[in-house]
Chain A
Amino acid sequence: MKYLLMLALLLPTLSFAEVAKDIADDPVMERRMMLLAEKVRCLVCQSEPVSNSHSDWSKDVRQIMRDKMKAGATDQEILDLLVERFGKSVLFDPPVDKETMPLWSAPFILLLLGGAGLYYQLKKRRGEVAEAELSTQDEQRAAQLLNESPAALNEKTAAQKETQA
């Protein structure tokens, strides 16, 4: 029963797994088109690639890709055409240029800033630790503690507990 229920829960995911279907008269070209369409953002649905989308706009783009491929255009030419019409944001991997520089460099800048912050913090802490020098009294106490055998130490703490009680 439990397994049947689990299976039933999986059912709805099946319908979503289907990839948008189109007419494919040339399977080789259809494959090439779909590979290219994976790189293109569906502007209507934003986070979905054109290859996966059921939107009318994506269907149009796929048809245009097929037409251009039939006319002998290279993949790059098709991407360039789409960028010219819809802007760089149609590409999931926007090219590195003046406009997208902040986007691409942001991780490195953040890493540098974080690294600098960490370096500064660690340096400060090291200074603090070095400052804490032991007084002669502390040293004597430490030496005493180190000299005492574990058994003697246990006795001592037991005695302390008794006096407290």
Chain B
Amino acid sequence: MMRFILPFVIFLILSVFLYKGLGRDTREVPSPLVGRAAPAFVLPLLHEPGKVFSPKEMQGRVWLLNVWASWCGACKDEHPVLMALSQQNVVPIVGLDYKDKAIDGEMTLKKAGDPYSLVIADADGKVGFDYGVYGVPETYVIDKAGIIAYKLIGAVTAQNLREKILPLVAELQAK
């Protein structure tokens, strides 16, 4: 009897592992930055290059840092979701225009609408590198103390907004 049960049990265990592996996105690498302070930077604003922004200015507020670019396809998918979110006025969204020409970034927002509280331009991608960006779009949830609480790789969708980001934002805001 054992000789039939044992292979079957091994088969079941393997199946569970393989099945779990099927649903996983191998591009999603756990970020070592979660739980650490958001790297400091000073970057010019996209709309007013004379002015600069630094994460310090958001101290005491929970905010989202959304890395996007005019050349990024998946950013167009998440754009309507971000537009809807900005209308709810629950959390400020700072856009980081990653490795983009300022004129292209501005044109994109002019055409499709601007969901951001403010947009900063990271033309050479140096700040993106500090934040461990390797595929746009990426979205960071940053808490009142300036600690990165969550990082989303890939597009913001109605689903992950409802299930993960918004509950987390509410929890952090209550703190």
Q: List A residues at the B interface (Cβ < 8 Å).
A: 43-44, 46, 56-57, 60, 64, 83-89
Q: Mark B124-153, 1 if CB is under 8 A from A, else 0.
A: 010001111011000000000000000000
Whether A86 pairs with B99 at a CB distance below 8 angstroms is no
A89 and B129 CA atoms in complex are apart in Å by 16
Whether A87 pairs with B99 at a CB distance below 8 angstroms is no
Whether B134 pairs with A43 at a CB distance below 8 angstroms is yes
A57 and B156 CA atoms in complex are apart in Å by 21
Secondary structure at the A interface, as helix, strand, loop or mixed, is helix
Whether B99 pairs with A56 at a CB distance below 8 angstroms is yes
Known: A43-B135, A85-B130, A85-B132. A60 touches B30 (CB 8 A): no
Q: List B residues at the A interface (Cβ < 8 Å).
A: 26-27, 29-33, 99, 125, 129-132, 134-135
A60 and B122 CA atoms in complex are apart in Å by 14
A139 and B135 CA atoms in complex are apart in Å by 78
A69 and B8 CA atoms in complex are apart in Å by 55
Closest chain A CB from B165 CB (angstroms)? 21
Whether A89 pairs with B132 at a CB distance below 8 angstroms is no
Whether B29 pairs with A86 at a CB distance below 8 angstroms is yes
Whether A44 pairs with B29 at a CB distance below 8 angstroms is no
Q: Which of B29, B130, B135 contacts A87 (CB 8 A)?
A: B29
**A83 contact set on B, CB distance < 8 A:** 32
Q: Which of B29, B32, B131, B134 has the most CB of A within 10 A?
A: B134
Known: A46-B26, A46-B27, A56-B99. A86 touches B32 (CB 8 A): yes
